[in-house]
Amino acid sequence: MDFSRITVLCVGDVMLDRFVYGDMERISPEAPVPVLLLNKRTEMPGGAGNVASNVISLGGRAILIGLVGEDDAAITLRDTLRLRAQVSEMLVPTPRRPTICKTRFIAAHQQVVRADEESRLPLQADEAELLCQAIDARLEEADVVILSDYGKGVCDQMVVHHLIGEARLRDIPVFVDPKTPDFRHYRGATCITPNAKELAAASGMPVSDNASVEAAARKVMARAEADAILATRSEKGMMLVPAEGEAIAVPARAREVFDVSGAGDTVIATMALAVGSGMAFDQAMRIANAAAGVVVAKLGTATADIGEVMRELQAQDEPEEAPHLLTLTQAKRQVADWKAHGLTVGFTNGCFDIIHPGHISLLAAARSACDRLIVALNDDASVRRLKGETRPVNTLASRAAVMAAIRSVDAVAAFSEDTPLEIIRELMPDVLIKGSDYRPEDVVGAAEVIAAGGRLVLADLRDGHSTTATIGRIQGL
């Protein structure tokens, strides 16, 4: 899957996404609001700019057209775009409005408040003319067009009709991420990609199941004279409804969702690149579905690279015999993802042959010491060496399935050695948790974790419970 020769013309509402991070330490004496002590700020292209970022992250090239003000935010936005070598910008400056800027204040991995800078002034005739001139100057270079409508003014009737009309004259497919509920505004588009809420608003119909989604999509598709509607449905996946042929639905793969910001940008960028490279709509949708699965597992306005998408596609095709048990490679990737999101990762291990209240108590205490907990199980051969030939009672697959179902546990892996030292070294958790019946100097891996800046927690145990005692009682029946 190579998109390196595909150029996407991205037209729409360009904005600056700013993320300001800090710690909430106290409540203000002036008002009942938290005081945020700021410690980090990041800035990146948002809106249509994020679409362009997704295009280049997936290996393509992008031309970005939109409006900016004559202000510091425009300078910052252009600076962020210069760092993206595969993006060519044709941003039109205007003195009538500020550059759209969304500033999100984040503490403890949660968004506290968002502050928006923008103008609600309708697009002026001279601004529309300059945008159309920019489109005409670069359209011949494009293999495919994306119209990214965030309802901020750029996608008014003159610009949209000019863009779609000129693209269709050249047989260039046009993909639209809509905002207005009247899809006649996008008449002639190749594919429109509403989410479920947008589709319901545009059609005036329910979208609760596959049949109702298809009916709603066909209604708005006829109004827009489009070739296809791609309805994105969050945890329910996607449905492609072509003007000719049957609708096709694909489910979303179950996974941890950190943030849905920008997922629609990823979907439309992937669809455009895939169709622009010659793929059929249904094939492009499956790739877009995988790309969306990648970005919702990231925090903030995110993109997916082609390697991540290929791994997600492979994961979707893998058999589901034991989806609860991660390989070491998968566990390392999961731990790295959690740490990249600023989450503390805890680790504990054991045979966990027959789960009892003592185990549940330990796991709950372990989870309270971290943001995410990974449990490493001794494999069957390791259990036999430690406990004798009659153990384990339950196989590794069975033990992993039960462990993964426990609320306190976020991931399960396994190790074949007699001690978990190697897997601890590979995963390098932030917190290592064992029961309080251990002495710190006896905990395998504690020295390595502490040397790397982590900590050891010895959790209190619930007395009177053990797997050996449980087996003894069963045998005595």
Strand partners, 17: 44, 102
d(CA 88, CA 99): 18
Both tokens of 408, joined, read 């306190």
Cβ proximity of 354 and 393 under 8 Å: yes
User: Distance from CA of residue 203 to its chain's centroid?
Assistant: 28
- Whether residue 79 lies in the annotated active site: no
Residue entry with tokens 């109004």:
223
| Burial annotation 75-114 (CB, 10 A radius, 16+ → b, else e) | ebbbebbeebeebbbbbbebeebbbbbbbbbbbeeeeeee
Contacts (Cβ under 8 Å, ≥6 apart) of 442: none
In degrees, rounded to 5, the angle at the alpha carbon of residue 292 between the alpha carbons of residues 224 and 302 is 110
Catalytic residue among 17, 265, 371, 410: 265
DSSP state, 306?
A: H
DSSP letter string, 408-429: T-SEEEEE-SSSSHHHHHHH--
Cβ proximity of 6 and 144 under 8 Å: yes
At position 248, the amino acid (one-letter code) is: I
Both tokens of 444, joined, read 């395998």
Strands 34-47 and 61-68: unpaired
In degrees, rounded to 5, the angle at the alpha carbon of residue 74 between the alpha carbons of residues 71 and 75 is 90
Cβ proximity of 108 and 25 under 8 Å: no
Cβ proximity of 157 and 126 under 8 Å: no
Cis peptide bond N-terminal to 392, omega within 30: yes
Both tokens of 318, joined, read 């893998």
d(CA 23, CA 70): 33
From the list 292, 338, 339, 334, the residue with the least C-alpha distance to 312 is 292
d(CA 182, CA 178): 9
Q: How far is CA 231 from CA 26, 210, 239, in A?
A: 44, 10, 5
Q: How far is CA 270 from CA 5, 51, 286, 378, in A?
A: 14, 9, 10, 41
Give catalytic residue positions: 265
